[in-house]
């Protein structure tokens, strides 16, 4: 479990770095996996990426936008 937390923390850190460089970025989990994360993090599971996003939302660093089709977009909460 400690390894899982380390992976999730690494994903969180990479998302935060991405948003520092691109404060107006917004995307779905799939887009974040494809465009925001390095190849190393892109190999992580959707569950780990979701956990990282959930933790960032809980901390107030990331916000969610629910679209009409039910999909969720994640964006910098401090835009």
Domain ranges of the chain: 2-76
Report the candidate in 42, 29, 37 with the shortest Cα–Cα distance to residue 72.
Answer: 29
Q: What predicted TM-score, i.e. pTM, was given to this entire model?
A: 0.89
CB-based burial label for 53 (10 Å; 0-12, 13-18, 19+): buried
Work out the end-to-end distance of the chain between its first and last CA atoms, rounded to an integer number of angstroms.
33
Tens digit of each residue's pLDDT, the chain (79 residues):
556 899 999 999 999 999 999 999 999 999 999 999 987 765 789 999 999 999 999 999 999 999 999 999 999 998 7
Domain 2-76: assigned CATH number: 1.10.10.10
């Amino acid at each position: 479990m400690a390894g899982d937390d380390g992976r999730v923390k690494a994903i969180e850190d990479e998302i935060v770095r991405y948003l520092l460089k691109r404060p107006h970025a917004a995307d779905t989990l799939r887009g974040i996996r494809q465009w925001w994360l390095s190849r190393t993090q892109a190999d992580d599971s959707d569950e780990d990426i979701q956990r990282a996003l959930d933790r960032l939302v809980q901390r107030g660093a990331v916000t969610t936008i629910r679209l009409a089709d039910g999909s969720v977009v994640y964006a910098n909460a401090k835009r």
